[in-house]
Structure 1
């Protein structure tokens, strides 16, 4: 399995596809494999690099604290290890927070930026969700925690029509041979709470797409709208009737919109 030494840890990543590099950063508690259904659409056009953020998957899981700046440095160190000068970045939720810090720390390394259901700073409500998830992860059985998480990230309509899929995910969580350690999950939650790029995002000059579901109760639409206001040139795509998981429950639409954006902003393309 491919690993790289970066920023003091061993970082696991996978890559598939050819073309300009596209770094895919996943959200809280999930590893790079969660990108599978999206990456499948990108791989015919891009060299997709999926990262297991520190604390998840096969990457090292050191004690905290973690910050989104730290995880951005992890990703930039991986680019150095792979000899990649510039790349497109797309991040989901916490992955979008990490991608913001990459864009601010090393704008010369970024070709385009896609931020999905992300935030520039937590409001009181979203901070309370992260704190509740951190406490729940430590206290609940794996399937019960998965149920709590599902109630937050999927809409009521999705629950109504896909209860079998949600139940299968709960069973899979309870049977995992190597669950994410509680200390690492807590450290990622703390990184989400402490993330703050508000007031700095106006410095981002690369082409930017922001996506959000209008029924997201985890990172509500207003948080994505605030990012779009700061990055004045950013495009905002709102998925009506969808929640925090619009990238999955509106899979084809999400893949088509995000791929079209990426293709428009390849280095050799005519805008």
Structure 2
């Protein structure tokens, strides 16, 4: 299967909006309540290509390239969680949305959680998919920073492939098309500079400013589901419990046979979890 095959018979719109002056790439499909999907570090809209067709039957699906990522503008400044959150707010306002269902993967999950705490009036319910920074393991941070910078600054087929394979439990899920797409994104001159702002959060002093903490997690009012996997390279299922304890009334489910991208490796399972949880709320 290819990304185009997954989208070929789905009606969708790929366009740009200005979110507080930041030109932002947006893909929309379907009708109904808006469901906003956020990718992870170094990611882009296509991280959800396998999910759009089915999710659009239930929601107005909205995927974005977050600030500094994909084909969205890349301001020259460190990208902290507050900056990503501000950009998300700008996108929501630019699209004229009042409330959204929100789901983020890895960095996107971290941003979604922060956003829901700071702007609870915008979030109906939320699914945090293998969210980022559940711990501050130096070895995980160092590997993510090194592999991300190398994939961009020393962009090659093999380096991009290695970065993508790190996300997957089943390495065969890394398709030639996905590698080529990410290679083209990473070789943009603007991305060569932006990558150092993207990996800002892989430094411990920067992370301390945004670490999961009851002081802000306790402000989350939206019903929240944590989605973990049994082969996530960044954290174990056991490490989900502290986050669950911090977010009032949150729930936890585990997808088996997947790594850091369950939405890609186990799309049907992931989609059913989102549909069931959001329809419940």
Interval containing the TM-score (normalised by the shorter chain): 0.7 to 0.9
1:217 aligns to 2:233 (yes or no): yes
Alpha-carbon distance between aligned partners in 1 of 2:242 and 2:250, rounded to the nearest angstrom:
11
Gaps of 5+ in 1: 266-271
Match of 2:92 in 1: 79
* Deviation of 1:128 (Å): 1.9
Which among 220, 223, 239 is matched to residue 204 of structure 1? 220
Distance 1:148 1:225, change over 3 A: farther
| Structure 1 vs Structure 2 CA RMSD | 2.3
1:132 aligns to 2:146 (yes or no): yes
Match of 2:194 in 1: 184
Alpha-carbon distance between aligned partners in 2 of 1:14 and 1:141, rounded to the nearest angstrom:
26
* Deviation of 1:244 (Å): 1.0
- Residues 130, 227 of structure 2: 8 Å contact kept: yes
Match of 2:245 in 1: 229
- Residues 11, 53 of structure 1: 8 Å contact kept: yes
Alpha-carbon distance between aligned partners in 1 of 2:183 and 2:232, rounded to the nearest angstrom:
28
1:166 aligns to 2:174 (yes or no): yes
Runs of 4+ aligned structure 1 residues displaced above 4 Å come to none
- Residues 221, 248 of structure 2: 8 Å contact kept: no
1:37 aligns to 2:50 (yes or no): yes
Match of 2:112 in 1: 99
CA shift digits 1:199-238 (9 cap, x unpaired): 3212212111111111111244344332112114111111
Alpha-carbon distance between aligned partners in 1 of 2:248 and 2:182, rounded to the nearest angstrom:
44
Gaps of 5+ in 2: 1-13
* Deviation of 1:179 (Å): 3.1
**How does the TM-score come out when normalised to structure 2?**
0.83
Alpha-carbon distance between aligned partners in 2 of 1:219 and 1:182, rounded to the nearest angstrom:
28
Match of 1:268 in 2: none
Alpha-carbon distance between aligned partners in 2 of 1:118 and 1:174, rounded to the nearest angstrom:
21
- Residues 210, 236 of structure 1: 8 Å contact kept: yes
Alpha-carbon distance between aligned partners in 2 of 1:48 and 1:170, rounded to the nearest angstrom:
21
Matches within 5 A, 1:48-63: 48-63=61-76
Which range is displaced more, 165-174 or 213-222?
165-174
Alpha-carbon distance between aligned partners in 1 of 2:104 and 2:47, rounded to the nearest angstrom:
12
Which among 155, 158, 161 is matched to residue 147 of structure 1? 161
Alpha-carbon distance between aligned partners in 1 of 2:25 and 2:85, rounded to the nearest angstrom:
14
- Residues 99, 115 of structure 1: 8 Å contact kept: yes
Aligned residues: 259
Alpha-carbon distance between aligned partners in 1 of 2:143 and 2:81, rounded to the nearest angstrom:
18
**How does the TM-score come out when normalised to structure 1?**
0.86
- Residues 86, 108 of structure 1: 8 Å contact kept: yes
